Amino acid sequence: MKAFLLERVVLFRDALGGDKFLLGGKGYGLVEMTSLGLPVPPGFVITTEVCKQYYEAGGKIPSGLFDQVREKIAEVEKETGKKFGGEDKPLLFSVRSGAPFSMPGMMDTILNLGLNDRTAKRMAAMTKNEKFAYDSYRRLIQMFGKVAMGADAAAFEKILEERRKTAGVKMDIDLPAVELRGVAEEFKRVVMKQTGKEFPQNPFVQLEMAIEAVLRSWNNDRAKEYRRFYHISEELGTAVNVQMMVFGNSGETSGSGVGFTRNPSTGENRLFGEYLPDAQGEDVVAGVRTPRGLDSMDPRVLQELGDVAKKLEDHFKDMQDFEFTVENGKLYTLQTRNGKRTAQGAVKIAVDMAAEGLITPQEAVSRIEPDMLESLLHRRLDPTSADKPIAKGLDASPGAASGEVVFDTEEAARVGGGKNVILVRVETTPEDIKGMIPSQGVLTMRGGMTSHAAVVARGMGKPAVVGCNEITFAADGSHFTTKSGERVMKGDIITIDGTSGNVYKGEVRMVDPEPSPELLKILEMADAMRRLGVWANADTPGAARKAREFGAEGIGLCRTERMFNAPDRLPIVRDMIMSQDEESRKMHLYRLFPFQLSDFKEIFSAMGGKPVVVRLLDLPLHEFLPPPEALIIEIDARRAGGAPAEELQGLEKMLARVRQLVEHNPMIGHRGCRLAVTFPEIYEMQAKAILQAAIELDREGEERADVKIMIPLVALAGELEFLRGVVDGAAEALFRERGARVEYKVGTMIETPRAALTASEVAEYSDFFSFGTNDLTQTTFGFSRDDVEAKFIPRYIEMGLLAQSPFDSVDRAGVGRLVKIAVEGGRRAKPGLEIGVCGEQGGDPKSIEFFNDAGLDYVSCSAYRVPVARLAAAQATLSESSAATK
């Protein structure tokens, strides 16, 4: 182990080899940049270990820590020739948080530490720039007062606002020196008044309090909320970075900026970023002043910045998001990290970097979060729609969204889950995150491409338009008005287009997107790496076509009950259910035959010879009938309206039948194969329709259909033996009748624990298995799949009883165990048995990894998840092979 790893406080220049978990993301970046010879102001990291010790001790600074901090300060003084608290060459520090995973804006930062009444005055004299000195000093008191001493941020803002008014200026930066000096004095009084304590003049006291404040900020509400949303462990802790200050606010040849080595929105390989002259770094991200493009910088410094960007990418081999400051014409780099990017950006960057040889195709495929891809396949504004935008802002996070205007974060958090809302704010701060989570999109009046709203929205994959300064807010919070005078009230529907920056009134028509060449490329790369097949769940010819377009290699689940629900079929289904004897039931069933026949023909034809697994009817019959309460109301109403006796009798007969069919637990009641054991004629008709469709297509010269007939909810091998007999019997009868034969397979779903446990027996009558993990999860847990999400799963997650809903991601310990038992049993009885999964978890990347490892042949998921699954399946193979080489 490297010696420094045992230290709790370590200089940037000594910490090479430390990882992100110890140094935090920011510290790690600073250490790496220092080692690359980039212009990093010197400083040191207090490791995440200290944070852990701080919380383990119940919020106490570990003993001896500040002695170590003083030793490192002495080293920085030696290196820079400056002195902390000194007057001639004052050394000032920034103190910043830095967790192992980036949590932008969630924790606290304090700049300009070390300034006090004396040093501020001295700095003003030395730099001959009083404005700069007092601007820095007032920022320190403001940040320190708020973060380290708990003063109310609004009080400071109010003072600044008043001063701006009296001085007749719009921006803080335009306040003259004398005003800023006054502001600093007033700020000190605010601190005293609000906290009962003086703003500390001793730099060491400032530093110690600031370090503790940053450690405390790991546990503030917004940071906790953020960690919950992004599943970041509470145990990691934050590091604290103490670094020599450089000043972007020391005049016109200074400034601060944020750079991206490539465009984070589009992925374009060109240095991208924003720059604010005469400003400290926080001004750029806070969105208080709208920054300019990098082209506004001095060309010589810009050139240097380009060299820095190139070095960063060559080293980190990923797109970097870096912060820099220019102090009197000299460039400093202050931070770097892998940049957050949109889904579109991520795909383009990965594909381009692989083409450039910077990373391998395997790395490119591993880099992309599969879930991200779904957003690329979602709808965008219809380019032919004639709607005219009412305002335009910056295109901060692509995609379009419509919803009701909500101005208040609390309200968005409250109502956002239930309906579509767009959060509209002057600007967002980390406190707004809880309102952003349930919103469809975000619109802000201020802020640039790197403002909080932009960064967070991109990270969440939500559309955002920021810096839309064409809108103004009503003082009473009831509406906003556009430049052209259009008024948009709270609750009105708007549409924002984060791809163009446009804002529209009302709901604008949307269309399906075109996959980009880069998306097609990354999927092609993934296809070459994966073992697992990717099929789709599709019930209609339209869905089948969509699935194929997205690259599905078959249909793993075509649910036939959905076909029965169409308005032209439901009355026939009802007649069938109402039948009292087999003969009349059969008669009505065969009225459904032509519908089923044409559905299957179209689906087989859409799939052009690829496998199609048709699942025979699986719904409890009463679900096709109106609920009893509705029938009672209807009967009463008709009776009151003087309806004829026969009509009332008919309805009453239906009510009696509904009452007969109603079940206490319909999900584990008379459904699936149980229904067919009692009414085999249903499966008989369906089997005939499926096979006749295949025969007709054959005759019409179309690609031969690959037909697989699947029987649901089997628990006993005997059920399958019987129903397979029904299907085979129907097939033989049909083939005789038609004088033609087609190939077909009969398989079963494994969706009860008993079927899984006795898989070797079930396999005897089955040509294939497909795990119905929705029902398998329901029956393994004994959780009703229709009720749990709203009732108790969130509480289970909150309490840590479950990490996430087992209906979203497969429960490996329980359901997963049954899957493995069934795979083993099935293939023991029938080596090479084809096995897939068609429950919702089949489209979930984590579950896909499990199904890959369990040896399944394919996963089947909804059409829009197919690209996600293709990528996840490739990643599963890659992690399998990297585990094997470890």
Between 278 and 618, name the residue whose CB sits nearer to ligand PEP: 618
Taking the complex as a whole, the smallest distance from the CB of residue 372 to ligand PEP amounts, in Å, to: 25
User: Angle formed by the axes of helices 299-316 and 20-35, to 10°?
Assistant: 130
Could you tell me which of 527, 513, 681 has the C-alpha nearest to residue 592? 681
Interface with ligand PEP in residues 78-137 (CB under 6 A): none
Q: Closest CB to ligand PEP among 274 and 561? A: 561
Site for ligand PEP in 589-628 (CB under 6 A): 618
Shortest spacing between CB 694 and ligand PEP, in angstroms = 23
557 binds ligand PEP (CB under 6 A): yes
First vs last C-alpha separation in the chain: 20
CB of 860 to ligand PEP, least distance (A): 8
Q: How many residues does the chain have?
A: 886
**Binding to ligand PEP in span 292-331, by CB under 6 A:** none
Provide the minimum distance between the beta carbon of 771 and ligand PEP in the complex, in angstroms, as a whole number. 7
**Residue from 751, 834, 844, 849 that binds ligand PEP (CB under 6 A)?**
751
- The entry of ligand PEP, Mg ion, none near residue 773 (CB within 5 to 8 angstroms by kind) is ligand PEP
Distances in whole angstroms, Cα of residue 733 to Cα of each of 474, 588, 617, 728, 729 = 75, 19, 20, 9, 6
Residues 404-433 that bind ligand PEP (CB under 6 A): none
Catalytic pick from 468, 673, 838, 861? 838
Q: Which of 51, 452, 468, 479 is catalytic?
A: 452
Binding segment for ligand PEP among 1-9, 195-203, 578-586, 766-774 (CB under 6 A)?
A: 766-774
Q: Which residues of the chain form contacts with Mg ion (CB under 5 A)?
A: 751, 772, 775
838 tagged catalytic: yes
Give the DSSP H/E element, type plus range, for residue 442. strand 441-444
**In the chain, helix, strand, coil percent, each to 5?**
50, 15, 35
Q: What order of strands is seen across the sheet that includes strand 272-277? A: 292-293, 272-277, 255-260, 320-327, 330-338
Nearer to Mg ion, 309 or 557 (CB): 557
Minimum distance, C-beta of residue 670 to Mg ion, in the bound complex (Å): 14
For 775-790, give the DSSP string: HHHHHHHT--TTTHHH
> Mask of contacts with ligand PEP, 836-875, x by CB under 6 A?
--xx------------------------------------
Minimum CB distance to ligand PEP smaller for 222 or for 559: 559
Q: Please pick, from the candidates 344, 444, 773, 875, the single residue that binds ligand PEP as defined by CB under 6 A.
A: 773
Give the shortest CB-561-to-Mg ion separation in angstroms.
11
For ligand PEP, the closer CB: 203 or 712: 712
Do residues 70 and 362 make contact, with C-beta atoms less than 8 angstroms apart?
no
What are the structure tokens assigned to 816, written together? 């997963």
Q: How far is the CB of 752 from Mg ion (least distance, A)?
A: 9
Non-local CB neighbours of 361 within 8 Å, separated by 6+ positions: 354, 525, 529
Least separation in angstroms between CB 525 and ligand PEP: 30
Name which of 277 and 772 has its Cβ closer to Mg ion.
772
Q: Look up residue 712 and give its amino acid.
A: P
Which residues is 93 bridged to in the sheet?
Answer: 113, 244
Q: Give residues with Cβ within 8 angstroms of 116, minimum separation 6.
A: 201, 202, 203, 206
CB of 620 to ligand PEP, least distance (A): 11
Using the minimum distance from each CB to Mg ion, give the nearer residue, 208 or 840: 840
Stretch that binds ligand PEP, among 298-306, 601-609, 767-775, 866-874 (CB under 6 A): 767-775
Q: Give backbone dihedrals phi and psi of 159, rounded to 5 degrees, phi first.
A: -60, -45
- Comparison of 186 and 775: residue with beta carbon closer to Mg ion: 775
CA-based angle 755:758:759, to the nearest 5? 75
Q: Binding residues for ligand PEP, how many (CB under 6 A)? A: 10
Q: Tell me if 774 contacts ligand PEP by CB under 6 A.
A: yes
- The residues near 813 (Cβ < 8 Å, ≥ 6 apart) are none
Alpha helices in 325-466 (DSSP H): 343-356, 361-367, 373-376, 409-415, 433-436, 452-460
Quickly list DSSP for 197-225.
SPPP--HHHHHHHHHHHHHHHTTSHHHHH
Measured from the CB atom, the residue of 501 and 772 that comes closer to ligand PEP is 772
Choose the one of Mg ion, ligand PEP, none that binds residue 838, judging by a C-beta under 5 to 8 angstroms depending on kind: ligand PEP
Which strands form 441-444's sheet, in the order they lie side by side? Answer: 391-392, 502-505, 493-497, 400-406, 421-425, 441-444, 464-466, 394-397
Contact positions vs ligand PEP (CB under 6 A): 557, 559, 618, 751, 772-775, 838-839
Q: Would you name the residues annotated as active-site residues?
A: 452, 838
